[in-house]
Amino acid sequence: MSIPRRLGRLAQGFVSSLQEDDRFRERLRVSRERSEALRGAFEAAWRGASEEWRRAEERRAAEEAAERNEGGRSSSQERSQQRTSGWRSTATTFTPRRYPPGVLAAYDRLGLAPGASMAEVDRKRRELVKRFHPDRFSDPEKRVRAERVTAEINAAHDAIERHVLHKR
């Protein structure tokens, strides 16, 4: 019997034994629920963004209509302008800021959205350092991990601070 066939049979036996395991079934159920929750959150965020884009488009169209009424254009010119202006030609009200990847990773490490105020960054740093301070752990392994996490938190705070100071 060839090695691939043996490996296939071994994998088949492993999967069939896992299907009988209650812990495996529970883990599958939990992961399915988690993916459904993530899907629901993504759909809600998409609906919110779509609504925001729609409102911005309506606001822009209303502003253009007001400008046209002040300018005294003829109605045929207005209609042709309305036909050519679509959602692609609009400038959105939201302009994303550009952040270096290290700064984005630092915001993510602190659990903040990019662009958070320095006061919020300081507050979050203090909160995380309190939670992961090495003196809170007596187990040497946990203490080493806490030291590493605290160093990461401080490095993230410093990266954000340097970025904000450099931007000014």
Give the containing element (helix H, strand E) for 2.
Answer: none
pLDDT computed for residue 16 by the predictor:
67
pLDDT computed for residue 51 by the predictor:
86
Helix (H, G, I), strand (E, B) or coil at 51: helix
pLDDT computed for residue 153 by the predictor:
95
pLDDT computed for residue 23 by the predictor:
73
Residues 6+ apart with CB under 8 A from 146: 132, 133, 134, 136, 137
Helix (H, G, I), strand (E, B) or coil at 88: coil
pLDDT computed for residue 150 by the predictor:
95
Residue with tokens 């779509």: 50
CA separation, residue 135 to residues 111, 124, 145, 153, 157 (Å): 23, 19, 12, 16, 20
Eight-class DSSP state of 99: -
Query: Running along the chain, 168 residues long, what does each successive block of 10 average in pLDDT?
Result: 81 68 72 79 84 88 84 54 51 64 91 91 95 93 94 95 86
Of the candidates 97, 91, 71, 67, which has an alpha carbon nearest to the alpha carbon of residue 160?
97
Superfamily classification of domain 101-167: DnaJ domain (1.10.287.110)
pTM: 0.44
Would you list the domain boundaries of the chain?
3-84, 101-167
Burial group, residue 163, by CB count within 10 angstroms (0-12, 13-18, 19+): middle
CA separation, residue 66 to residues 60, 62, 76, 80, 110 (Å): 10, 6, 16, 16, 45
Would you state the structure tokens that stand for residue 64, as one six-digit string? 């253009």
Of the candidates 87, 26, 84, which has an alpha carbon nearest to the alpha carbon of residue 54?
87
